[in-house]
Amino acid sequence: MAACGPYPRDISGTLDAIEREGRLRVGFAAVADGDRGTAQAFVARLEAATGARATVETAPMETQISRLEDGEIDLLIGEFREDSPWVTRVSVLEPLSRRVVGTHTLGLSPATANGENRWIALVEREIRDHPGQPPA
C-alpha cells in the first residue's frame, strides 16, 4: 500500500505543496522585454491549472538557479541555450519562445528542480497543450 499513490512522484513534493498552500513561487531570469508577456501569460496558465496564486521575483540566473535547487522557488523561467551547462543541474523544459543572439538560439524555457516529476509533467502539459501558440 505504501507504493500506491500519485504517479509520477515529486521527490520533494513540489506540486502537492503548491496545491496545498495555494502558492506558486516563480523566479524570472534573463527574460527579454519582448518575452515578458509570454512568461507572465504562461504563469497565469499555471495558476489556473494548479489553483495557486503566483508570486514572481526577478533576479540574475545564478541566483535563480540556486534558489530553485534550494527549494526557495518552484519554477524558473529564463533564457537557456540548448547546450547550457544548467541542463545537468535542473530540468530545463521545452521553450515558450526562441530568439537568436549572435550565432546562438536561446529558448525562453521553464525550469524545475530535478526529480519533481509530477510538477514537471504538469508544466510540460501546459506547454504542449498549446503548440505553436503563445501562452494565453
Whether 49 is covered by a domain: the verdict is yes
With contact defined as beta carbons under 8 Å apart, do 24 and 52 qualify?
yes
| CATH number of residue 96's parent domain | 3.40.190.10
The string of pLDDT tens digits covering residues 5-33 is 556 777 889 999 999 999 999 999 989 88
Whether 133 is covered by a domain: the verdict is no
Instruction: Give the CA distances from residue 93 to residues 15, 114, 123, in Å, rounded to whole numbers and listed in that order.
Output: 16, 11, 8
Count of domains for the chain: 1
Residue 133: all three cell numbers together: 501558440
The domain of 48 spans 14-128
pLDDT of 35 higher than 80: yes
The string of pLDDT tens digits covering residues 50-100 is 999 999 999 999 999 999 999 999 999 999 998 898 888 999 999 999 999
Whether 8 is covered by a domain: the verdict is no
pLDDT of 134 higher than 50: no
Buried b (16+ CB within 10 A) or exposed e, 91-114: bbbebbbeeeeeeeebbbbbbbbe
